Amino acid sequence: MKRVEVRLSIAAVAPLLDLIKAVADELRVHVAVPVALVGADVDFAEVWREELLKSQREDCDRLFSLFDQEFFSDGVVAFDRDNAEAVLRACAALRLRFRGTHLEKITDEELEALEASSNMDRFAETEKKAFACFIFLDELQKIILKYLDPLSADGDEEIDR
Amino acid sequence: MELRRYNVLRLLILRLTPHSSNTSPQQVPQPIIVQHGLWRVVFLDDAVTRMSYAVMVLRKIFGFDEAKATHHMMEAHEHGRTIVWVGLRENAEAYVFSLQQWHLSATLEADETS
């Protein structure tokens, strides 16, 4: 099975991991996307929520398993068919959580501008770090999406979202 | 509660089987439709999720080709929502669960035309 190794900057990524871990811990008890079940009873909605949380926890655990001895010694993280989708989902959940908590005071327009310029001079240190995590998780998603489907067109940059 | 747990397990099994979108009413036994009506799976836009990710997930869950998945993603992006599937409630629930498991916003709504 094909395995892709990506070398990351330890100096850039390691300082982000504590905050990402803290947000991942929040996802152990909060679903990233609100449960939207029309007309379902309470028991069903609760089982639904529990299953989503279980899935989130497993995905975040897979993400953190990337940052092992190999990462801290030479900066390498490895993807294969076994972990790529789980890590992709974990990144999606974490980005949504960051947006809804640490970055909630920033408007969509400001966030878009930041993604283009990364100029965060007027923001607090905590927001700067959260934004760095937000961007790092996005970059990780880009790498995995390319790995899963090398031929797919990445139209994200072409459309102003 | 056990029955509900069974239903969620059923959702998990269903999510592994990509289906064509907009299942025609002819594919479903008519009496069931008459009794329960049809339900829509509505995929909602969000300002965070990467577009290529949304396209990949729509392809994976619904079996769409790239063009169809991109069309739905763009419709959600421009109009805030897009109907990605119509059919029986239990199947619609399974699809919404799968979308939520990939952290895409989605909801169910009754198809008033059925």
Asked if residue B11 belongs to a domain, the reply is no
Distance from the Cα of B33 to chain A's closest Cα (Å) equals 17
| Contacting residues of A for B7, CB less than 8 Å apart | 44, 47
**Enclosing H/E stretch for A23:** helix A10-26
Asked if residue B30 belongs to a domain, the reply is no
Distance from the Cα of B24 to chain A's closest Cα (Å) equals 23
| Contacting residues of A for B106, CB less than 8 Å apart | 36
pLDDT digits (tens, 9 = 90+) for B35-48: 568 999 999 999 89
SS3 B50: coil
What residue numbers bound the domain in which B50 lies?
39-110
User: What is the predicted ipTM?
Assistant: 0.88
- Nearest CB to A99: which of B48, B51, B100? B48
Asked if residue B18 belongs to a domain, the reply is no
pLDDT at B26: 46
**First vs last C-alpha separation in chain B:** 30
The tally of domains found in chain B comes to: 1
* Of A3-7, A94-98, B13-17, B43-47, the least confident: B13-17
Return the half-sphere exposure (C-beta side, CA atoms, 13 A cut-off) of residue B2. 0
User: What CATH number is given to the structural domain containing B71?
Assistant: 3.30.1390.10
* Of A76-80, B23-27, B89-93, the least confident: B23-27
Pairing state between β B39-44 and A76-79: unpaired
Inform me whether the pLDDT recorded for A75 exceeds 80.
yes
| Contacting residues of A for B51, CB less than 8 Å apart | 155-156, 159, 161
The tally of domains found in chain A comes to: 1
Q: What angle do CA A144, B15, B104 make, to 5 degrees?
A: 55
Asked if residue B53 belongs to a domain, the reply is yes
Average pLDDT on B22-40 reads 59
The percent of residues above 70 in pLDDT, for chain A, comes to 92
Inform me whether the pLDDT recorded for A65 exceeds 90.
yes
Asked if residue B23 belongs to a domain, the reply is no
Dist CA B24 CA B46 (whole Å): 29
Which pLDDT band, with edges at 50, 70 and 90, does B9 fall under? Answer: low
Q: Which residues of B touch A (CB under 8 A)?
A: 1, 4-5, 7-8, 11-12, 46-53, 55-56, 66, 70, 74, 77, 93, 96-97, 100-110
Residue A65 CB partners (closer than 8 Å, separation 6+): A83
| Contacting residues of B for A51, CB less than 8 Å apart | 8, 11-12, 97
SS3 B81: strand
Average pLDDT on A79-90 reads 94
Distance from the Cα of B92 to chain A's closest Cα (Å) equals 11
| Contacting residues of B for A95, CB less than 8 Å apart | 48-49
SS3 A91: helix
What residue numbers bound the domain in which A113 lies?
3-160
Asked if residue B29 belongs to a domain, the reply is no
A37/B4 CB distance under 8 A? no
